[in-house]
Amino acid sequence: MLLTRLQSILVSNLVLIGLLISSELFAQTTIDSSRPLSVAVNQTSYPYHFQDSQGLAAGIMVDLWKLWAKKQQVELEFVISPWQQTIDKVKSGTIDIHAGMEQTPKRNEFFSFSAPFFELNNYIRVQRDLVNLTSVEQLLPFTIGVVAGSSHVEQLALLHPKLKLRQYKSRFALYSAALAGEVAAFSNLDKLSENYPRYNDLQLQFPAYKRVLFAQGKYVAAVEKGNQALIEFIEQGFNRISPQEKVAIEKKWLGVAKKNDVLTLVFTPELPPYMAISPSGKPQGLFIDIWRFWAELMGVEIEFVPQSMTDAIEVITQGGADIHIAYPENDLANANLSAAQQIYAVASNVYLPNHMTKLNRLSQLAGQKLGVLKAAPYLQGLKKNYPQIQLMTYRHYQDMIRAAEVGAIDAMLGSVENMQMELSLANLSEQYYSFERSPFISPIYALTQKDNSRLAEIVRDGFNLMPVEKLIEIEKRWLSQPGDGYYQMNANQVTLTNKEYDFIAQHPVINMGINRDWRPVEFVDQNGVVQGINIDVNRLIEQRTGVNFTYTLFDSWNEMLSALQAKKVDVLGSATPTEERKKSLLFSDTYWDMPWVVIHQRQEGKLSSIKDFYGKELAIIRGYHLINKIRQHHPNVNLRLVDNDEEGLLAVKRGVVQGLIENIATASELIGRESLVTLDMSVVDEFNVDQNSFAIRNDWPELKSILDKALLSITSNEQQQIYEKWFAINLATGLDKDTVLKLSAQIGIIILVIIIVIVIWNRRLYQEIKARKSLEAKMKHMATHDELTGLANRVLLKDRMMAAISFHKRQSLMLSVLFIDLDGFKNINDTYGHDVGDELLVEVAKRLKGCVRQSDTIVRFGGDEFVLLLTGLHRREEAGFIADKVLKLVQQPFELSKVEARIGCSIGIAIYPEDGTSESDLLKEADSLMYKVKMSGKNHYVFN
């Protein structure tokens, strides 16, 4: 019996050994350890597996597979291929493992799959200009781009069979097609491929907030169908990877653990209007809205957690949250945190009670008690640099304000917005004043854990994508003085080179020559203060560059010009760059364009040509560059040179001369100041628009480049504000009729006669006021519009182009300039006369208005030339579409009073930024291209 039992045990052991040997043999035949295991990696499946800039395999799955190989003690070989090839090679067994794909019913026929790594979201990204598209059904009218062979082809065909799909061989080909406008939407995973060369353009055109979820799936590894031993071997290795190791890899690429995918943001709620909690318990404030916008752009989910400033740092350090949204410090003592991005800067000022002597510097507070918050980032600097000030620290603004009320402290130092809000809530706003300039500007940073460099990179990417206009809009929503907001001020700042900064340091004050009575361009008012258009422009330059102007007064333009050429002053404003002047002076870019006009007696009627003054005498200021031009081209006009406008105006009033030549701004000021309703003004067609530049001493090229940059930063709105401030005629006159009638009832028949006289006089005054207002409106319109067609003129075109270029540069958009010259116009004008020619130009203008959007600008550039400024373009073909439309409309016959006219047009098209980055470059290129059309047969359009 014992023998029988031993035999049974022996047989069992032999069977077990046999099974083990056969199992090992099977494993060896399935998993050949003599060669590396091959893993298929797609070129563009970012961030899961893709080819990096060095041509190597990279991504979440690549890092996981490397760690897996280490755990299993095997070698791996990554084979990078287009998507369809990765599918085919694993299906056929040519490659052992697919690095990662979504599991679908159709793929189950060809592959064996591992356990899921994580859940996967599939989206359709929609072009940003398509509004109110929140479901897949709303996309039925559009063509959707997909990658051939991807799971999206199968899923969309199954879930939404009515969708129109267009397949592309790779993800990059799909992206390029989307940017080219071939498709209005495309399928994608949760993130775009950041290694795509035009990633920023793609993110702007197809932002994360314009995506529609259409399916969810499981992300798995795949092998040839039936190779279960390899699947078990794969899962054995991944089971050896700890959750901490997996999270570390996910955070490297995503900035957050994949299973969570929600970023936790901590904020300090006691700092309105920046960060606070609403009465209903919800986070609110400037910084809260900025981060909500960031999350929208990046396509991530966020949650806000309120914490005190010190507790928030501890929460981030311990990994209890991902980001501190706004911390006023960057040299952190905590080695585990780093400043991912400066998101803002906050000004802090000193507030003093009105009864204290007017102070403007911290040093004047010596011996005084100054209240400051304990968490203020400048506290240590205050202690070090102003030891004579007694600093009293407080935890909250309310505590500091209460201390000031009872006299425990003499002054308070705090954030401008916080202090103004808290003082207003305490009804103390009118009882305190502040320094003219804030002594401290504190940068505000987003903080992340130092070892999570990927999250810091995502934070930076999001802020780099934010359009400044949107950020300024958020500032306007929350700040009491949005004009002083960080993004508003930053948008206006000028970036200078080291050489330019050195120049400013060596020349801290720039001496500018000023005409003491050249209203409204520049003058000295009754209080001895220098005022005018040029002074307002200078203030903007000072704010944005650090240049400081001082002024030397002169009585005439000739004196100023001579002083500049002798280097007794450094710069002049409102100078026109002529060829002669350029020999001895430098000139900035043009900053103000004004038409020349002739002031003349009203009874002369409309005078639109210099020929109307042939045989007559006109007054003009001595030294004006227009003198030589008139003498050369219009010798039949007699010129009387005068020293100033008063002398010229007096000559007009006395009939000594028939008119005074001036720019339109000065002319309007003269008429308004003198109340000369008997005078009128006319824009003379032959006079070019006067281009106002700064004339600069020729040995200071650095000053020219500084001024050019500053002038470029001045927006059209700022120009308009200056224009409206100075370019007007204002009258306040008339009598109080009620008072007059009351007195007349008391005084009788004699006063009644006086009343009748007064009423007649008032009626006359009202007529004059009406005429004056009409003249004002006429002059404003004349300055920016063509008198014949009512279209914009060159002045308005320059303003619109400068503003548009600035906006399109920030938004990475295109704009287009179409330079149009009429073919056959000269023949009609010469044959049937100027009246018919003018009639034709008016009709052309009407047709052009029907070719463009309201946001575009139509300009009569001069003669028979027109310019179209098309903004917000996504591709150049859109400009070609408008050009086709213009050609067809202009070629249609025009029914004029004397003839049916048939004309055509030649169009040159310049694109920003391809053909130029400035207003002058684009116009020059479009003009040049238009002449190429003329030379090659006319009546069509051409791009560069």
Residue 484, helix vs strand vs coil: helix
Rounded-to-integer distance, Cα 735 and Cα 758, Å: 8
Q: Which amino acid is at 553?
A: L
Give every CB contact of residue 192 below 8 A, 6+ residues apart in sequence. Answer: 46, 125, 175, 199, 202, 203, 206
557 touches 705 (CB < 8 A): no
Identify whether the C-beta of residue 113 lies closer than 8 Å to the C-beta of residue 221: yes
Cα distance between residue 822 and residue 831, in whole Å: 16
Condensed to tens digits (0 to 9), the pLDDT of residues 535-582 reads 989 988 887 888 889 999 998 888 999 999 999 999 999 888 888 889
Cα 173 from Cα 147, distance rounded (Å): 9
The strand pairing partners of 414, in sequence order, are: 349
Angle of CA points 224, 230, 231, to nearest 5° = 85
Low-confidence ranges of the chain (pLDDT < 70): 1-33, 255-261, 279, 329-335, 606, 672-677, 685, 688-689, 716-717, 724, 727-782, 810-812
pLDDT at 744: 42
What is the full DSSP assignment across 208-231?
TTSEEEEEEEEEEEEEETT-HHHH
Using CA atoms, how far residue 585 sits from 562, 564, 579, in Å, is 11, 8, 10
Tokens for 81, please give them: 């291929």
pLDDT of residue 775: 56
Alpha-carbon torsion, ordered 130, 132, 138, 139, to 10 deg: 20
User: CA angle at residue 820 from 819 to 821, to 5 degrees?
Assistant: 125
Cβ atoms of residues 446 and 287 within 8 Å: no
Positive/negative CA dihedral, 527, 532, 534, 538: positive
Residues 535, 541: contact at Cβ < 8 Å? no
Both tokens of 597, joined, read 């006009």
In the block, tokens 């009105």 appear at 354
Q: Does the predicted model carry a pTM greater than 0.75?
A: no
Task: Specify the DSSP element, H or E, that contains 782.
Answer: helix 749-784
The number of beta carbons lying within 10 Å of the beta carbon of residue 145 is 25
If we measure between CA atoms, which residue out of 618, 670, 668 comes closest to residue 646?
A: 670
Q: Which of 252, 270, 344, 332 is nearest to 306 (CA)?
A: 270
Could you give the percent of the chain with pLDDT greater than 70?
A: 87
Residue 432 forms beta bridges with which residues?
353
Radius of gyration of the chain (CA): 38
CA–CA distance, 391 with 383 (Å, rounded to integer): 8
Instruction: Check residue 61 and give its pLDDT.
Output: 95
CA–CA gap between residue 545 and residue 461 (Å, rounded): 28
Contact between 806 and 199 under an 8 Å Cβ cutoff? The reply is no
Angle at 753 between CA 751 and CA 759, to 5 degrees: 100
Tokens standing for residue 806: 């600035």
SS3 for 465-483 is HCCHHHHHHHHHHHCCCHH
Amino acid residing at 326: A
Q: Which amino acid is at 475?
A: E
Report the half-sphere exposure of 875 (CA within 13 A, side-chain side). Answer: 10
Residue 732 has a pLDDT of 30
Residue 731's pLDDT is: 30
pLDDT of residue 819: 96
Number of residues that this document lists for the chain: 944
The tens digit of pLDDT for each residue in 688-702 reads: 667 789 999 999 999
C-alpha to C-alpha distance for 417 and 272, rounded to whole angstroms: 8
Q: Which of 487, 485, 443, 482 is nearest to 463 (CA)?
A: 487
What local confidence, expressed as pLDDT, does residue 764 receive?
60
Identify whether 635 is preceded by a cis peptide bond (ω within 30 of 0).
no
User: Which residues touch 190 (CB under 8 Å, ≥6 apart)?
Assistant: 120, 121, 123, 299
DSSP 388-439: TSEEEEESSHHHHHHHHHTTS-SEEEEEHHHHHHHHHHTT-GGGEEE-SS-S
C-alpha torsion 47→49→51→56, nearest 10:
120
Quote the pLDDT of residue 97: 96
Long-range pairs of 26-33 with CB within 8 A, sequence gap ≥ 24: 26/229, 27/229, 27/233, 30/227, 30/229, 30/230, 31/229, 31/230, 31/233, 33/74
**Contact of 98 with 227, CB cutoff 8 Å:** no
Omega before 701 cis (within 30°)? no
Among the listed residues 602, 546, 592, the one whose alpha carbon sits nearest the alpha carbon of residue 692: 592
Backbone angle region of 754, left / alpha / beta, with phi > 0 → left and psi within -120 to 50 → alpha: alpha
- Give 357's DSSP letter: P
Pick the closest to residue 83 from 40, 132, 130 (CA basis).
40
Which of 430, 386, 432 is CA-nearest to residue 409? Answer: 432
Which of the 8 DSSP states describes residue 271? B
- Token output for 726: 């100075």
CA distance 458 to 664: 53
Neighbouring-strand partners of residue 222: 98, 113
**Contact in structure between 843 and 901 (CB atoms under 8 Å):** no
Instruction: Provide the pLDDT for residue 868.
Output: 94
Task: Evaluate the omega torsion of the peptide bond into residue 913 and state whether it is cis, within 30 degrees of 0.
Answer: yes
Contact between residue 171 and residue 105 where contact means Cβ atoms under 8 Å apart: no
Consecutive H or E run containing 531: strand 530-531
- Torsion sign, CA atoms 444, 449, 451, 454: negative
* Dist CA 682 CA 597 (whole Å): 5
Among 194, 105, 189, 184, smallest CA distance to 144 is for: 184
Helices within 211-339 (DSSP H only): 228-239, 243-254, 286-298, 309-317
Three-state helix/strand/coil letters over 567-630: CCCCEEEEECCCHHHHCCEEECCCCEEECEEEEEEHHHCCCCCHHHHCCCEEEEECCCCHHHHH
Distance in angstroms (rounded) separating the CA atoms of residues 609 and 384: 71
> Position of tokens 């149009």?
820
SS3 of residue 267 by DSSP: strand
Model pLDDT, residue 261:
67
3-class secondary structure, 821: strand
Q: What is the pLDDT of residue 21?
A: 40
Q: What local confidence, expressed as pLDDT, does residue 695 receive?
A: 94
